[in-house]
Amino acid sequence: MFNVAIVGATGNVGRKFIEILAERNFPIKNLYLFASKRSAGKIMKFKDSDYVVEELCDENIKNKEIDFALFSAGGDASSVFAPKFAEIGAVVIDNSSAWRMDPKVPLVVPEVNPEDISWHTGIIANPNCSTIQAVVALKPLYDKYGIKRIVYSTYQAVSGAGLQGILDLQDGLKGEAPKKFPYPIAGNILPHIDVFTEDGYTKEEIKMIKETRKILHNEDLKITATTARVPVLNSHSESINVELLKDFDIKEVITLLDNSNGIVVYDDTKSNKYPTPLQVDGKDDVYVGRIRRDFSIDNGLNLWVVADNIRKGAALNAVQIAELMIKNK
């Protein structure tokens, strides 16, 4: 049995941590819930017991024995407190962007690069939600055929922007002005996630590019991305265009993906079968459809990839990392 801390317990991902730990019967001895001073004192339920949320501060962590600390409290909190949890012996699995590109910190998707867990020094980073579902779909292709170039186009749900993103969609449907996004999201598409950089890309696009390279251990991989926010409550969709290094048989590709861990192939155009956000909401797996050859280039392939961004794209991936560590012990 293990002592588990959830940091950022009252947020969307924190609540999903609690839900998934219960669903999967994670072997918990003691559970500690942390959040901001504003949320301290709230009561949250895990299984049949009530837990009091503690303020995230030095005083409340220094005397605790913690095996795993699941973080979803934002980059600033992770930068300060992840090392402090590591110092008291916890393995921190962090959902923010604070540690993802640190060369001393593994960036892990269990279906893709589980071997990288072995070299952690107390902190393991969870990739960006849009990166996680993409690399789950791409890894079998990368291993069998090699990849020359990737073009990402994402259609990301408002839940990826937190509670205020959800409220912007709900309020916008009533005709109210947005508070989170620069323009109304209801009935609209915003090709703008995170802030713009000097070269015209957004930080979200840069994250997908850099994280994919790190996870696949290929800094020379050619990747470009356009990320967009769409008026969907939950689950991200992605159109992924891939140029493979080797030729392929399309039926072989479908079989390969269908037999790969964490992937559900849902693809039958004759029956209008393809993944949608509503269908995938609440599911653990990454769904892949619209699998077809791109005839405009040699060895080109198109994929439509959909996953629950709060579940597999955040909380579940972190819990799976912890489960894998327990199994490997």
Query: Which H/E stretch holds residue 321?
Result: helix 316-328
The CA distance from 297 to 299, in Å, is 6
User: What's CA 203's distance to the chain center, in Å?
Assistant: 15
Q: What is the pLDDT of residues 153-173, one digit of tens each?
A: 999 999 999 999 999 999 999
**What is the reported pLDDT for 9?**
94
Q: Are residues 106 and 143 in the same domain?
A: no
In this prediction, residue 235 has a pLDDT band, given cuts at 50, 70 and 90, of very high
Binding-site residue ranges: 10-13, 38-39, 100, 156, 159-160, 229, 309
Distances (CA, A) of 189 to 157, 194, 306: 10, 14, 17
Residue 62, pLDDT > 90, answer no
Amino acid at 241: N
Binding-site residue ranges for NADP(+): 10-13, 38-39, 159-160, 309
The CA distance from 132 to 78, in Å, is 20
Q: Are residues 99 and 11 in the same domain?
A: yes
77-110: burial string, b at 16+ Cβ within 10 Å, e else = bbeebbebbbeeebbbbbbbbbbbeeeebbbbbb
**What is the reported pLDDT for 74?**
87
Dihedral angle over CA of 138, 140, 141, 143, nearest 10: 120
Domain extent, residue 287, equals: 130-157+189-307
Q: Are residues 136 and 234 in the same domain?
A: yes
The CA distance from 328 to 134, in Å, is 25
In this prediction, residue 236 has a pLDDT band, given cuts at 50, 70 and 90, of very high
163, part of any domain: no
Report the share of the chain in percent with pLDDT over 70: 100
Nearest-CA neighbor of 98 among 82, 80, 78?
78
129 is catalytic: yes
Q: Which two tokens stand for residue 189?
A: 């598409």
289, part of any domain: yes
217 is catalytic: no
In this prediction, residue 210 has a pLDDT band, given cuts at 50, 70 and 90, of very high
Residue 287, pLDDT > 90, answer yes
Contact 228, 237 (CB under 8 A): no
85, part of any domain: yes
Output the domain CATH number for residue 27: 3.40.50.720
Q: Are residues 118 and 139 in the same domain?
A: no
* pLDDT average, residue stretch 40-50: 92
Q: What is the pLDDT of residues 193-203, one digit of tens each?
A: 999 999 999 99
Q: What is the pTM of this model?
A: 0.95
The CA distance from 18 to 47, in Å, is 9
Q: Which of 120, 192, 217, 236 is catalytic?
A: 236
**What is the reported pLDDT for 329?**
79
Dihedral angle over CA of 150, 153, 157, 162, nearest 10: 60
Q: Are residues 263 and 151 in the same domain?
A: yes
The CA distance from 120 to 1, in Å, is 21
Look over the chain and give the mean of its residue pLDDT values, rounded to a whole number. Answer: 96
* Range with the largest mean pLDDT of 53-57, 95-99, 261-265: 261-265
